[in-house]
Amino acid sequence: MQAPRLWQIAGVLFVGIAAASSAAIFIRLALGFVPASAQVGLGLFLAASRLFVATIALIPSWRGFRQGNYSPQALRYGLIAGVCLALHFATWIPSLAFTSIAASTALVTTNPIWVVIILWVWKGDRPHGWQWLGIILALSGAIGVGFGDLAHADSTTVFAGSNPLLGNSLALCGSWAVSLYLVCGQEAQTQGLSLKHYISLVYGVAAMVLLPLPALLGQGYVEYPLPVYGYTLLLALFPQLIGHTSFNWALRWVSPTLVTLVILGEPIGSSLLGWWIFQEVPSPAVLWGALLLLAGVVITALSQEV
């Protein structure tokens, strides 16, 4: 297959970012329909449902899977990527019940830092001077984001969330999981797994991992108000089928570091939408921490061959 041109890759990634930026908004809108005590369970329901709906929509893509004769290594990486995607959604989506959209999306998109570290541990690609600088800056910014809202938890002018430390910790765990997902995704496709079969496998595995979790927390699947299911469909259509599929397509042609660099546009878009729709105003500490974090991530990503 002929490699697409750079402007085509950039265009697909731009559409993916625009779609992915809506995820936090749809999640926050859905969470508003249940009391605080049920929001974690609803978050897991949203995570499972968006992937279940996406998997159903991709059933035609399974055609020709057996004829692909994919290697065990390619399939293994696809399975691991699916589990990592499930862990990403199981931690990040509930984080939005406890912290601000700006803090959650800034922390969950620290992927380039963790991708560099994963490649160092896995393949021996040791970070060099500029990457170390970026990692230090990003981690310093993450600390600012993680703790910046604690002093504003009861403020009426600054939105901090009900438990910002817990929410920020969940978002960071989500970033670790999605970093592994991106690295394994590139390995699976490099070893021959086609895009349509890769996303069908990964979304299906993630859905199977997530579907039992709401029940384990004593939550049901059919007792929510009708708008919640509407937001679930929107999550499956825009952030999942359009957003994540765009990123997975790009992984076939460029490095995961470049893809994660582009994904840094998501917290900007999500934060602007959160300010516009929910009037969420993060604290100054979170804003400065997010800027420092994003600067560190950009330095880390740009200093690596992409």
Contact 49, 184 (CB under 8 A): no
Q: Percent of the chain beyond pLDDT 90?
A: 35
What residue ranges do the domains of the chain occupy?
A: 6-302
Backbone torsion region of residue 5, taken as left when φ is above 0, otherwise alpha when ψ lies between -120 and 50, otherwise beta: beta
pLDDT at 149: 59
Q: Is the Cα torsion angle 73, 79, 85, 88 positive or negative in sign?
A: negative
Instruction: Show the tokens assigned to 145.
Output: 């984001």
Report for 222-231, 282-291, 294-303: range of highest mean pLDDT:
222-231
pLDDT at 147: 67
Least confident residue range of 2-6, 48-52, 120-124, 262-266: 262-266
Query: Does position 296 have pLDDT exceeding 80, yes or no?
Result: no
Query: Does position 306 have pLDDT exceeding 50, yes or no?
Result: no
Query: Does position 277 have pLDDT exceeding 90, yes or no?
Result: no
pLDDT at 141: 76
pLDDT band at 110 (very low <50, low <70, confident <90, very high): confident
Query: Does position 65 have pLDDT exceeding 70, yes or no?
Result: yes
Can you tell me the distance from the alpha carbon of 252 to that of 81, in angstroms, rounded to the nearest whole number? 15
Query: Does position 48 have pLDDT exceeding 60, yes or no?
Result: yes
CA 245 to chain centre: 12
pLDDT at 304: 57
Q: pLDDT (tens digit, 9 = 90+) per residue, 232-241?
A: 999 989 998 8
Query: Does position 244 have pLDDT exceeding 90, yes or no?
Result: no
pTM comes to 0.83
